[in-house]
Structure 1
């Protein structure tokens, strides 16, 4: 679903909300059916808050700009998400993992 221009627009939407939702994208890979993000998030807002805002905003805009999404899916995003802090591995290892996802 996240291809044919939808992926490019999603990238723009995620990046444009950084100041408003107080996060920085350090690495991003958009796969056909999910997104990998390495982010620095304001701890006062929290990761769950930021991810939910990104999902809500991007779903609204993408479904408006790409009406075919409304026909294909009842919702763009599921309620699930995997969130982990970087600590057990280096920041560079996480960056490399995300970058390498396009090659899998």
Structure 2
């Protein structure tokens, strides 16, 4: 789960927990086919962006994503792509969603997660001068 990602110039461990919901908290995930297709689309988008899906679950009116990404992508960029693609495709593929001008609210929750707590990092940074 907490694997470091490497590029030519960086080593990173950026895990994000996202939560977002449909407009008006519509219960779109009550239909298993919608949920299944949504998860497939998220997986496709994430593969294209080189994002690892650590966990993904849906409740009737919201979804949780736990993702590992490279530092070249901001959380806002990830959400824009995931929400944009899934909104367009789901509204095209499911007639009962077709009339909606957009599927998702503009808002989302995001938090970061890693191997250590914020307090541990704070102590580490504060103690750097003492080490030399």
Return the TM-score normalized by structure 2. Answer: 0.61
Q: Which runs of 4+ in 1 moved over 6 A?
A: none
SS at match of 1:2: helix
Structure with higher Rg: it is 2
Unaligned runs of 5+ in 2: 1-27, 119-132
**Residue 59 (structure 2) aligns with:** 31
Which is strand-richer, 1 or 2?
2
**Residue 105 (structure 2) aligns with:** 78
CA distance in 2, matches of 1:3, 1:22: 29
Which is helix-richer, 1 or 2?
1
CA distance in 2, matches of 1:67, 1:15: 22
CA distance in 2, matches of 1:60, 1:53: 11
CA distance in 2, matches of 1:2, 1:43: 31
CA distance in 1, matches of 2:45, 2:102: 21
SS at match of 1:12: helix
CA distance in 1, matches of 2:52, 2:91: 24
Unaligned runs of 5+ in 1: 90-104
Deviation at 1:6, TM superposition (A): 0.3
Aligned length: 88
